[in-house]
Amino acid sequence: MATEVHAAEGATGYIIHHLTALHVGEGFWTLHLDTLFFSAVLGGLFLWFFKTAADKATAGVPGLVQNFAEMLIEFVDTQVKDSFHGNSKLIAPLALTIFCWVFLWNFMDLFPVDIFPLIGSLMGIEYLRVVPSTDLNATFAMSISVFCLIIFYSIKIKGPWGFAKELMFQPFGPWLLPFNLLLKLVEEIAKPISLALRLFGNLYAGELIFILIALLPWYIQPVLSFPWAIFHILIITLQAFIFMVLTIVYLSMAHEDH
């Protein structure tokens, strides 16, 4: 469904066009408006749905909305209780937010790749990338937030000295202090990076394949995009789930005092 302009630029142009964000600003102060807009809208959707359920929440017979919300709550709560044994008011809501938000981000991937850019072009918007998780900024924003929480809780639970001790003296004892420090730092820093890159990589690749399929003749497209979309339903849920579970695990590790 490439438009005239993109056809002239060829397949590469089409792909680049689809993976370029709508941005304003220069250098570091560039803002990806599409990422900000869609993630905010999806976040709002998530909050609206759960707020509706929460407002009508009763201990009696639940309605349809409440039922669904409670199902997710129970699901998240089970995950949290499985790996986190402390008492925290933050972790469960955090996990729920991460799961739902990431899932909604990823879900945008299932819309046909050209629908939103087409609507955008009709409204005069040249570039539009609708899947926030194909933007490194979105995934890193989340993983860096989680990383900050990890550091915060590590220091809060173990104390600054306790945390420093853990960094310096584990796992090989005080005689190999520099080595321990290096290992621990890599381990800690690997957490946000792996979180962000895993989600980004999966969704970016998925989106790329959808775009590639969209370049094929129309009679082949359904044969390929249909199974890929079905497979993708699994991927988007799985990625959201992984992000959530790893967040819980990292935070429970931060809570554990050795």
- Examine residue 189 and tell whether it contacts another protein (CB under 8 A): no
Long-range pairs of 111-120 with CB within 8 A, sequence gap ≥ 24:
112/214, 113/18, 113/207, 113/210, 113/211, 113/214, 114/1, 114/214, 117/17, 117/18, 118/1, 120/22
Catalytic residue among 106, 202, 225, 252: 202
Which one, of 253, 257, 247, lies nearest residue 90 by Cα?
247
- Examine residue 119 and tell whether it contacts another protein (CB under 8 A): no
Alpha helices by DSSP H, the chain: 4-18, 33-55, 64-83, 91-107, 115-122, 136-169, 177-215, 221-255
- Examine residue 136 and tell whether it contacts another protein (CB under 8 A): yes
Nearer to another protein by C-beta: 51 or 85? 51
CB distance 59 to 73 below 8 Å: no
Cβ density class 202-229: b for 16+ within 10 Å, e for less: bbbebbebbbbbbeeeeeebeeebeeeb
Binding another protein (rule: CB under 8 A), the pick from 117, 135, 254, 255 is: 135
Tell me, what amino acid is at 188?
A: E
Nearer to another protein by C-beta: 56 or 85? 56
**Interface with another protein: number of residues (CB under 8 A):** 49
- Examine residue 130 and tell whether it contacts another protein (CB under 8 A): no
Integer CA distances (angstroms), 95 to 32, 203, 217, in order? 25, 20, 42
> Is 202 among the catalytic positions?
yes
> Is 137 among the catalytic positions?
no
Stretch in the footprint of another protein (CB under 8 A) among 111-119, 130-138, 208-216, 225-233: 130-138
Binding another protein (rule: CB under 8 A), the pick from 12, 29, 178, 234 is: 29
Q: What's the closest the beta carbon of residue 29 comes to another protein, in angstroms? A: 5
> Is 83 among the catalytic positions?
no
Question: Please, which residues have CB within 8 angstroms of residue 16's CB and are 6 or more apart in sequence?
Answer: none
* Residues in 54-113 at the binding interface with another protein, rule: CB under 8 A: 54-55, 57-60, 62, 66, 69-70, 73-74, 77, 89-90, 92-94, 96-97, 101
- Examine residue 30 and tell whether it contacts another protein (CB under 8 A): yes
Q: Would you tell me which residues interact with another protein (CB under 8 A)?
A: 21, 25, 27-32, 35-36, 39-40, 43, 46-47, 50-51, 53-55, 57-60, 62, 66, 69-70, 73-74, 77, 89-90, 92-94, 96-97, 101, 132, 135-138, 140-142, 144-145
